[in-house]
Structure 1
């Protein structure tokens, strides 16, 4: 792999309709909403999946020539490298934007999560491998294509639980906090190459596969605590991701935008 250098010439980020976008975990839940949002704007999308082949293929088949489903475990560097090769073979050009959304085996039900006195480190390790190792693999695999394009966009999916840890999602929150650190350090390192790295952090979304186990009373309590009196939807969250992928955010990097209806003030 050829490493990008600080001598490369940065070019303007292409409009969304001209982009090739990778969405990890892009077949279900929030990932599906992200995929559909980019497709709606005219982008071509690589729908990465691990356990949702049927959903990924169905979504790709509805957008022939503009979407391709590729199975890969983002924790496995060889599979990620192969994913990027397949993406470029399918579309004839490198990926412009990477959205790190994949989530490793997690259900958003606070009553079912291990508390502080009982959670094992293995739980943390599993979430770190999905959030941090997965993002590291996809970003590094994207860099040669970014270098050829002269620009690149990375959007990492985070959580508002850093600021508002109201449920004991210890492992998930710690991993996303580490991903925020990676977001900011990579933004500083890759900025001279014309690459921006940002994070969009939501709260509980109504409703994704991961939040399907959440009791209705929890959704009601969250809505009551927001200025908008509502729980953010995946489509609303996706709007902010589109901003960070677009030329409109050309001077924004290393940022964490909280999209939760105003519940958390950061």
Structure 2
């Protein structure tokens, strides 16, 4: 049996070059790498940004026929709905694939983090709201279009700090832990609609805007403790997003894949 006929016997599994992909927080850092990976795979991509207008427009200009930069704060549900409507009008098709990457203002700087004595509810609330409300808004805004297509892919960006809090970023890790819970419960709810929901949990990436404040000694320590003896790059992380969105992962949902060079075994 050919691959094509085998896939055709299963629920709809759109190839990457037929998907319309929303990447939140795609103006810079990891989000830009993910957006570029999907563009390289032939997808149409919505490059969402909040403040990074120049960087987002520059990225979209690399493949102008298949990329669209759209400003929206993912914590604003109405702005997210408007963004998806704009994308549908522009591409002539609804968003099929949502990558929840947007991160509230945060820097991986262990010296500046709030420790257990200084941590406040406001620290936690900022991350819980930014990470989970943003993801919730993006998923809910895309559901009607996914159901219309009979196909949907949601990929949430997590962290390996659940398993290995080598630096205890209490607020950031709490937000991402809650997102893992939503990943698994949404997978259960949306599976009958042929919508899969998965998470990719990276470690410290070399290098993004968020990790720019991390000392080289920390990168070197992490690299020395991975089987690959190096720190994962944003481009390598983006490869895993392509996998979860592709037809090859059509039966995979509710999973958390750790992509950190083997540092953590989930």
Shorter-normalised TM range: over 0.9
**Quick one: distance in 2 between partners of 1:70 and 1:186?**
26
1:7 match: none
Q: How far is the alpha carbon of 1:139 from its aligned partner? A: 0.4
- Per-residue CA shift, 1:121-162, capped at 9, x if unaligned? 101101011111000000000000001100100000000000
2:196 match: 196
2:100 match: 100
- Per-residue CA shift, 1:150-175, capped at 9, x if unaligned? 01000000000000011121000000
TM-score scaled to structure 2, two decimals?
0.96
1:50 match: 50
- Which secondary structure state, in structure 2, belongs to the residue aligned with residue 47 of structure 1? strand
2:36 match: 36
Greater CA drift, 168-177 or 58-67? 58-67
**Quick one: distance in 2 between partners of 1:109 and 1:255?**
29
Q: How far is the alpha carbon of 1:119 from its aligned partner? A: 1.0
Moved over 6 A (4+): none
- Which secondary structure state, in structure 2, belongs to the residue aligned with residue 241 of structure 1? helix
2:83 match: 83
2:117 match: 117
1:67 match: 67
- Which secondary structure state, in structure 1, belongs to the residue aligned with residue 115 of structure 2? coil
1:3 match: none
Residue 263 in structure 1 maps to residue 260 in structure 2: no
Cα distance 1:148–1:11, how it changes in 2: closer, same or farther (>3 A)? farther
**Quick one: distance in 1 between partners of 2:196 and 2:91?**
23
1:26 match: 26
Structure 2 gap ranges (5+): 1-9
TM-score scaled to structure 1, two decimals?
0.96
**Quick one: distance in 2 between partners of 1:20 and 1:252?**
20
**Quick one: distance in 2 between partners of 1:13 and 1:195?**
10
1:163 match: 163
Contact 1:11 1:149 in 2 (8 A): no
The CA RMSD over aligned residues, in Å, is 0.8
Report how many residues are paired.
257
**Quick one: distance in 2 between partners of 1:150 and 1:43?**
18
Structure 1 gap ranges (5+): 1-9
